[in-house]
Amino acid sequence: MKAEEENQEMKVEKNRDLKVRTKVFALRVIHLYSALLKTTEAQVLGK
C-alpha cells in the first residue's frame, strides 16, 4: 500500500511539473511573439 501511495505522489508531482513547464513555455512564446516586428511578414511567421 505504501508503494502505491508513493507512486501516486510521484504522478501528482510530475503532473504539477508539466503544468509549470507548459505555462513557462507559453509565456515565452507570447513574449517572443510580442517582440516581433510589426511587419506583415513577421506577423505571419508569428502565427
5-37 residue pLDDT tens: 777 788 888 888 888 999 999 999 999 988 988
| pLDDT given for residue 1 in this prediction | 63
Q: What sign has the CA pseudo-torsion 14, 20, 26, 31?
A: negative
Domain tally, the chain:
1
Range of the structural domain that residue 20 is part of: 2-46
Eight-class DSSP state of 24:
H
**What's the whole-model pTM score?**
0.62
Instruction: Report the C-alpha gap between 9 and 2 in whole angstroms.
Output: 11
Within 8 A by CB and 6+ apart from 32, the residues are: 46
